[in-house]
Each structure stands twice: as structure tokens, then as C-alpha cells.
Amino acid sequence: MIHPTALISPKAEIDSGVTIGPYTIIGDQVKIGADAVIGPHVTIDPYVEIGPECHIFQFASIGALPQAIKFEGEETHVKIGRKTIVREFATINRGTGFGGGITEVGEENLLMAYTHIAHDCKTGRGVILANNATLAGHITIEDYVTIGGLTALHQFVRVGKHAYIGGKSAVVKDVPPFVIAAGDRAKLHGLNRVGLKRHGFSDDALAMLKKTYRLIFRIGLTLNEAIERVRAEVGQTPEVDYFLAFIKKSERGMTR
């Protein structure tokens, strides 16, 4: 059902079963997948793709021009994965030509009220941003990360899978996977054991990750020394291999 007061560009592609509320504005080159719900007073600017079964609540702004001085009006995009929920007053900006050209929100994300996702950010599956969480440009958030309310992340920060960032934090360096980070500036507070158990991690996997975390971050070794100790004492598992690969790839430095 499309409310008669909604303003929809004839160049938009609206799939079957989409609901669009009153006074919503949908621009050119917008695609909205089947059974999505777009609430009242939503603005969706050009070059936005919204996946099936998404729910965009009132007063959200999707696809506005990036807040980047170097942006020169080039065609860039926003893509939102299926079953993502975008709550009231959330904002998601388009990408930039110099930053890859697309801002991507993964499937089954929950973006609570007043959250902001800036240009060229990418989030994985099952990401939760609590109220007023803010992502600066070029940030990568991997699968099943939760970010607490009133938290700000610096440009180019990466957050690994299954990490949990507490509320009212300031994150200026990469956050490794599987951990809890919190504070201004954010520091590590051990493994995200509750989250990992909820996602089916075994006791053996948790024990190996706990030992890896301790060797990397808690006994004062250099990174190379710590990796050698992990290989000797923990061995190779998919979780440990991913943990180490994420850390070695860091360019901003690692939250500790």
C-alpha cells in the first residue's frame, strides 16, 4: 500500500508488497525490495537500494549526500540488506568516489534511533547500533557486532566479528573480534563470552580464544612474540586464525 501523499519519483523501482507511509519522499534511481515497509515522513534520496523485508521508521534519512569536503557530486550509492530495521531519525549517507562509492548496511541489522552511518562505511550481518551510535567515514563493522548508545567511532576504524562495544565509548583504534571494549578512549575488557555463547561457540573454542587474548594483550609480549606463543600453545583453529589475521591487518593500531 502506498499512501497518496507520498512523493515517489517515476524513476524509482518499487517491488510488490511494499508499504509506503504518508509524506514520504523517494527520489530517482531508488530500488525497494519486496515486502519492505517505509514509514511516514521518510526521505530516501537517489541511488539507494533497500532490500526485501526492511523496515524504515518515520523521519529516517537514507542516501543524503556525504558530509565530506572532497565530495564533488559524483554518483555514489547506499545499499541496505534484507530484513534490516532503521529506526526514527537515523541517517545513512551515500559513499564517495574517493572512498569506494558505496555505503553498505548488511542484512538483519538493527539501527536504533538517531544512529548515523557516514560515507563509505560497511556493516556485516546482524549488527546492532544502539541509540545515538555514530560511525564516521570508511568504517568497517563485521558480523554480529553490537555498539552501545552514545558511542562514536573514528574514521577508518575496523571492528571484528562478535565484538561488543559498551555505551558512551570513544573508539579511535581497531577493535579485535570476540572482545568487549568500552571507555573514552576505549579499552579492552576481556572476551564477549555472553555474546559468543549465544552464537553457539563451544567451551573449547572459548577456552582457546581466552588463552589467545591473554597472550596477545595481557602479558606484555610484542605482537610477533605473542603470535609465536599462540601458535605453540594454542595451535590453529578457524577462530584463532581469524583473530590473528584481523590483528595483523590493522593499520590504525589495535585497541588494548
| Closest alpha carbon to 213 in 196, 230, 228 | 230
CA separation for the pair 150, 44 (Å, rounded): 25
Query: CB of 147 within 8 A of CB of 128?
Result: yes
Q: Is 174 a catalytic residue?
A: no
Biggest CA pair distance of the chain: 67
Helices 203-217 and 223-233, interaxial angle, to 10°? 150
Q: Is 120 a catalytic residue?
A: yes
Catalytic residue among 21, 124, 137, 148: 137
Q: How far is CA 130 from the centre of its chain?
A: 11
Q: Which residues neighbour 222 within 8 Å (Cβ) at sequence distance 6 or greater?
A: none
- Number of residues assigned to the chain: 256
Q: Is 235 a catalytic residue?
A: no
Q: What is the C-alpha R_g of the chain?
A: 20
Query: CB of 208 within 8 A of CB of 141?
Result: no
Secondary structure of the chain: what % helix, strand, coil (to 5)? Answer: 20, 30, 55
Catalytic residue among 119, 126, 174, 195: 119
- What residue type is assigned to position 221 of the chain? L
Query: CB of 23 within 8 A of CB of 40?
Result: yes
Positions marked catalytic: 119-120, 137
